[in-house]
Structure 1
Amino acid sequence: MRDQEPAPGHPERRLSTKEASELLGVKPETVYAYVSRGQLSSRRVPGSRSSTFDAAEVEALARRNRRESTGTPGAGSEPAVRTRLTYIDADRYYFRGVDAVDLATTHSYEEVAEWLWTGELHAGATFTAPEESLRAARRAARALPEHTGPADRLRAAAVAAAVADPLRFDLSEKAVIGTGRTLIPTLVAALPPRHPGHRDEGPLARRLWSRLSPHAPDEPSLNALNTALGLLADHDLAASTLAVRVAASARAHAYAAVSAGLGVVEGPLHGAASGLAHRLLEEVIDQGDAAPVIAEELRAGRRIPGLGHRLYPGEDPRARALFTLLADIPRAYPALAAARDVVATAARHTPLHANVDLALAVLTQSCGMAPAAGETIFAVARTAGWIAHALEEYGERPLRMRPSGLYVGPKPPRPLPVDHGHAPNGHSA
């Protein structure tokens, strides 16, 4: 939400962070989380790192929160989803208060997932799946047409794994975490291997690599993939995560909640965005110059994939972390140069920074992966966050995700519609 200047003669009342947090009944860091989600606007105090907030906005948000907490619907009300998982602040984000970039660059994806689920760091965590789950998921994936994309295979695998688990309706914390630990490797195992030396054991990043790249893995590339998985494990209430929480609010089991997320992630404005960036980079590499490629995108009225993020005024911290790792991989140099060219060229039109989709596209393009590989990495990675959000939602009041529709259709009551081609009682006219 962008700050607006007060109208002349109508000075707005501003609140400090402390005053806003007291009025909302939340911690100061939660106030900034509202800003990152677009629920509040803020204005930086000149010469200071602190901010002020529009009192009218804060009071309106407090009223909405009170209505939600008491279950009282109201016009314009919206659910205020409190979470302990991800906090986004300016150009950084945190998992349970720990810098997410630091966590993802120093720990395995499995350890990041365990931190999101339990708030504890389980060093050396590994994920394994029971054989019946793997068999069911592979059978379901093999039954799909050959041209089937990875997102469809993941959805089919999730449904098959659910059917193979008679205890899937157990929504206790222990059971749901157990589902996460088995479902994620099941999703990976359901994807067709691209490397002959694939093995369904060892770190998850290595297992996923053999499903995405025809090349033998090297440690820098594996490290980049593992870090990408950790960086993408959660990102607050993105569209797919909100779908997961709605499903969990209705007490759908964890497999069904993840399936809801998988249904949303295929959108070109969400998980599939990196595939568009991948194709863009390939065009830039082929032509040797980003300018004609960017010009064609703008001429067609399309947004430039891989640029800009509404939650970050500067460069996406996930992109920055991945670019740093990719700079140490020689075969990534052409794609990295193309990405820099895209950013610099697009900046002549609008000052947008690289987001994680562009960095993910550099990874997939340079490692010989298909354009859809970024979507696969995103979906597998985000499953950890979806499980974490489902866990949180199971602890909330059921069916609270129920906004009121604002009816704008014809005013009732209206007479029953008449089919003018037939007489009443079903006889032809």
Structure 2
Amino acid sequence: MTDQAADGPRLTTREAAERLGVKPETVYAYVSRGQLTSRRSPGGRGSTFDAQEVDALARRTRRDSQPSGDLVFRTGITLIDKDRYYFRGVDATELALRYHYEEIADWLWTGTLRAGVRFTAPDDALAAARRAVDALPAQTGSTDRLRVAAIAAAIADPLRFDLDRDAVLGSARTLIPTLVDALPTVGRRHRGTGRIAWRLWSRLTAESPHEESVRALDMALSLLIDHDLAASTLAVRVAASARAHPYAAVSAGLGALEGPLHGAASGLAHRMLSEVLERGSAAAVVADHLRAGRRVPGLGHRLYPGPDPRAEALFGVLAGIPAARPALEAARQVETTTARHVQLHANVDLALAVLSVACGMPAEAGETVFAVARTAGWIAHALEEYEERPLRMRPRGQYNGPRPPRPLP
């Protein structure tokens, strides 16, 4: 309870922590760093803190953590630094070269690498998801199918509201394969090794899989697991902050992903590459985009002044696949042609487009790969957010409508 001392009101450790929006342990960390002063409470039980000093620190912390008016979250998942990006301090492209998607996802959630780990869809959840997806109109997009599958899987899971860490991990390991296996197959199903990439392949293309091509798909999934606080990831964290269960949090991410400026961007690059291959000229296609005042798809990224490391890593794998070389050459031509006008580097959307064009996939295949891959990252962020104070993301609106009182309409 707050004490009223001669020099002003004083707060208990718990009250100070609530005002600062941190855990009690962090309050003592502030004391050790000289940012707060404490005083033993009467009777020597616990410490008290000057309320004005705590409020001043809270104002400084909010100001320091929000440069340029941007909302900033502390996260230990992804670091983007110049021309590289890292998962929990490890180079993400090196991880993608060495390990499979499920192994990296599970390690990102738990901190323990389990070689050969597999994700399996429960029969009841998968049956419910397939029934729901099969009932959709034929023209339904893949992201809509994934969102419906996530909702059906949630309804089939009576333990979905259990936000204990182990329960969330169990849901995550079954949700991803359920999403993939609920999608309609384009060609013959291929068992492969049972990995997500092999199972996803038959949902994207009727072409027979080759080890190198499926490895490229697996690498694309691994590279796209997370990329800091993109729009869809922020949506997931907002949902998790309200203590939405993991299926609902993933659904929030899928909703934000569907915009043309996010997950659907690779489809635009796919159509452009197809046109380049059809016309035999990157120059003509780039000129058409510029003449119409449109950005050239698949080029440039606000977070990388140089090449997108995800694109470079995926290009490296695709270069070893003979069937991908025409699309890869077309992508390089687009990049070099545009460089005469403005220096922009290929981003991961262009690399996804090379993969989808080369493997006979539809234009929306890149969006599907993106959504499945990013589900693992969304779960990682939800797990982080469940450890934070609930409902901490509550911005205040700046009202700019007519001032009251106004007459009834």
For 1:223-302, what aligned pairs fall within 5 Å after superposition?
Answer: 223-302=215-294
8 A Cα contact 1:79 1:400, kept in partner: no
User: Structure 2 CA distance, aligned partners of 1:209 and 1:249?
Assistant: 34
1:312 aligns with 2:304: yes
Q: Is the 8 A contact 2:189 2:199 kept in 1?
A: no
Any conservation in 2 of the 1:78–1:403 contact (CA below 8 Å)?
no
The SS at the match of 1:101 is helix
Alignment of 1:408 onto 2:400: yes
TM-score, normalised with respect to structure 2: 0.83
Structure 1 equivalent of residue 169 of structure 2: 177
Pairwise CA distance, 1:200: 9.1
Unaligned runs of 5+ in 1: 1-24, 26-61, 418-429
Instruction: Give the match for residue 83 of structure 1.
Output: 75
Cα distance in 2 for residues equivalent to 1:394 and 1:65: 25
Secondary structure (helix, strand or coil) at the match of 1:155 reads helix
1:66 and 2:61 matched: yes
Q: Secondary structure at the match of 1:166?
A: coil
In 2, the alpha carbon distance for the partners of 1:63 and 1:223 equals 49
Give the Å deviation of 1:411: 2.2
Describe the shift of the 1:323–1:184 C-alpha distance in structure 2 as closer, same or farther (beyond 3 A): same
Distance across 2 between alignment mates of 1:64 and 1:273: 39
Give the whole-Å Cα distance in 1 for the aligned partners of 2:368 and 2:289. 25
Q: Out of 144, 159, 181, which is 1:167 matched to?
A: 159
Distance of 1:277 and 1:80 partners within structure 2: 31
> Aligned partner of 1:131: which letter?
D
343, 353, 357: which is aligned to 2:349?
357
Matches for 1:369-380 after TM superposition, within 5 Å = 369-380=361-372
Q: Deviation string for 1:187-244 (max 9, x for gaps)? A: 0011111221334971110000111111111111111100100000000100000000
From 206, 211, 228, the equivalent of 1:214 is 206
The C-alpha deviation readout for 1:319-368, integer Å capped at 9, x for no partner, is 00000000000011110111011101111111110000000000000000
The CA deviation at 1:412 is 2.3
SS in 2 for 1:346: helix
CA distance in 1, matches of 2:155, 2:63: 35
Native 8 Å contact 1:249 1:401 kept in 2: yes
Alignment of 1:137-148 (within 5 A): 137-148=129-140
**Structure 2: unaligned runs, 5 residues or longer:** 1-29, 31-56
**2:86 pairs with 1:94:** yes
2:263 touches 2:370 (CA, 8 Å); kept in 1?
A: yes
Could you tell me whether the CA contact under 8 Å between 1:79 and 1:403 is conserved in 2? no
TM-score normalised to the size of structure 1?
Answer: 0.80
Q: Give SS of 1:87's match.
A: strand
Aligned length: 354
Moved more, 350-359 or 293-302: 293-302
Alpha-carbon displacement from aligned partner over 1:256-305 (angstroms, at most 9, x marks no partner): 00000000111111011000000000001111111111111122221111
1:391 paired with 2:386, answer: no
- Determine the C-alpha separation between the residues in 2 that align with 1:114 and 1:314: 30
Tell me how far 1:68 sits from its aligned partner.
8.3
- AA at the equivalent of 1:154: L
Question: CA separation in 2, counterparts of 1:414 and 1:367?
Answer: 62
The superposition leaves residues 47-95 of structure 1 with CA deviations (integer Å, 9 ceiling, x where unpaired) of xxxxxxxxxxxxxxx976723899xxx9x96643100000000000000
**1:123-202 superposed matches below 5 A:** 123-199=115-191, 202=194
Whole-Å separation in 2 of the counterparts to 1:222 and 1:192? 18
* Contact 1:318 1:355 (8 Å CA) reproduced: yes
Matched-pair contact (CA < 8 Å) for 2:180–2:200: yes
The alpha-carbon distance between structure 1 residues 189 and 319, as it changes in their structure 2 partners (threshold 3 A), is same
State, as a whole percentage, how many aligned pairs show the same letter.
68
Q: Does structure 2 retain, via aligned residues, the 8 Å contact 1:67–1:77?
A: no
Does the 8 Å CA contact 1:284/1:293 hold for their aligned counterparts?
yes
- Counterpart among 105, 112, 116 of residue 97 in structure 2: 105
Q: Within 2, Cα distance between the matches of 1:370 and 1:402?
A: 40
- In 2, distance between residues paired with 1:133 and 1:358? 34
SS of residue paired to 1:257: helix
CA distance in 2, matches of 1:327, 1:276: 22
Contact kept, 8 Å, 1:189 with 1:200, in 2: the verdict is no
Which 4+ residue blocks in structure 1 deviate beyond 3 angstroms? 62-65, 67-70, 76-79, 197-201
Cα deviation digits, residues 5-32 of structure 1 (max 9, x gap): xxxxxxxxxxxxxxxxxxxx9xxxxxxx
Is the 1:65–1:80 Cα contact (8 Å) retained in structure 2? no
In the alignment, the residues of structure 2 paired with residue 262 and residue 194 of structure 1 have an alpha-carbon distance, to the nearest angstrom, of: 22
Residues 131/235 of structure 1: CA separation in 2 closer, same or farther (3 Å cut): same
The amino acid that maps onto 2:298 is: G
Q: Distance in 1 between matches of 2:150 and 2:189?
A: 25
